Amino acid sequence: AKQNGKNNFQVFTRELDSLMTRRSQMEQALKKALDEQQFALHYQPQVNLASGEVIGYEALLRWQSPYGNVPPSEFIPIAEETGLIVPIGEWALRQACRDAKEFRALGHAAENISVNVSARQFKDPDFSEKVRAIFEQESADPRRFEIEITESVMLDIERSARIICELKALGLRIAIDDFGAGYSSLNVVKNVEIDTLKIDKSLIDEVLINRRNLFILAAIIEVGKNLDARIVIEGIELEEQAELLQPFGIVGQGYLFSRPLPPGSLDAFLSEPDYN
């Protein structure tokens, strides 16, 4: 292994090099993407597991770049590092307001639309004022919307707690995303009044590996209920998982019910649900 050390290093730097090139290319492309309207929001239904009723949708960003579709796992981190997530995030919120109107025109009153907001957007002290302006300009009702944040927002607890209060005062709900996946999940719910806990996919996956893990999931659900929060389990893929969770009286989201869909396709999903 030792005699290969130098070669390995060369391979490594070459790979790093092309990685860097790819990143800076992507950064350039991302800058153009907003102007050239390459972004779209797709919507994934949130389903009441007991009744099968759709209670809302999560808006998920899609980038149809000239090089093909780039998944959020690739471009969101770069958008966050470069700060481009700030204008992209504003675009997403505005677009969700517009899509919500289209849903209503199609005849279903989307009770809840969840929009993801990056910790980077929370660094802007005027964030809530910007949000207020967007809802006013789009004449959208904030009470139909939820803001999804991850616990990384809470690294700056004082500033974040203030922004969360301001957003709630506008009528928006607050969801903690990826709950149970991090280290300090309980810290988040201790410090602010949240409306929804979104339990990370890894927790339901672990239940299939070992049934005993259902006790952990049940305990987390209990915490959420004591906080008066709505519970959403993410990443339900199997009927078996949905059945296990049915007695808890919670909400589920996952490929079992539907993949995220463009707003125009939701109508078809609603009239012909592929579950139950």
Q: Which positions touch ligand C2E (CB under 6 A)?
A: 44, 60-61, 71-73, 76, 85, 89, 92, 116-118, 177-178, 234-237, 253-255, 260
Cβ proximity to ligand C2E: between 170 and 261 the closer is: 261
How are beta strands 54-65 and 39-48 bridged, if at all?
antiparallel
Cβ proximity to Ca ion: between 29 and 230 the closer is: 230
Report the partner that residue 125 touches, choosing among Ca ion, ligand C2E, none (CB closer than 5 to 8 A by kind): none
Close Cβ partners of 92 (under 8 Å, ≥ 6 residues apart):
39, 41, 59, 61, 115, 116
Residue 152 touching Ca ion (CB under 5 A)? no
Among 122, 148, 189, 194, binds Ca ion (CB under 5 A): 148
**CB of 183 vs ligand C2E, minimal distance in Å:** 17
Centre a 10 Å sphere on the Cβ of residue 2 and count the other Cβ atoms it contains: 5
**CB of 109 vs ligand C2E, minimal distance in Å:** 22
Asked if 177 and 119 count as a contact pair (C-beta separation under 8 A), the reply is no
Give backbone dihedrals phi and psi of 196, rounded to 5 degrees, phi first.
-140, 140
Cβ proximity to ligand C2E: between 3 and 131 the closer is: 131
Cα separation of 68 and 71, whole Å? 10
**CB of 113 vs ligand C2E, minimal distance in Å:** 12
Residues 212-241 that bind Ca ion (CB under 5 A): 234
What's the token pair of residue 48?
A: 């009441």
What's the token pair of residue 234?
A: 């993410």
Cα separation of 80 and 121, whole Å? 9
Cβ proximity to ligand C2E: between 166 and 237 the closer is: 237
Interaction pattern, residues 238-267, with Ca ion; x per rule: CB under 5 A: ------------------------------
Close Cβ partners of 256 (under 8 Å, ≥ 6 residues apart):
236, 237, 238, 239, 241, 242, 275
How are beta strands 39-48 and 173-179 bridged, if at all?
unpaired
Among 177, 220, 224, 253, binds Ca ion (CB under 5 A): 177
Cβ proximity to ligand C2E: between 21 and 196 the closer is: 196
Cα separation of 239 and 33, whole Å? 38
Which of the ranges 30-38, 129-137, 147-155, 224-232 carries the binding residues for Ca ion, by CB under 5 A? 147-155
Cβ proximity to ligand C2E: between 261 and 270 the closer is: 261
Cα separation of 224 and 230, whole Å? 7
Interaction pattern, residues 106-145, with Ca ion; x per rule: CB under 5 A: ----------x-----------------------------
- Residue 151 DSSP label: G
Residues at the site binding Ca ion, with contacts judged by CB under 5 A: 116, 148, 177-178, 234
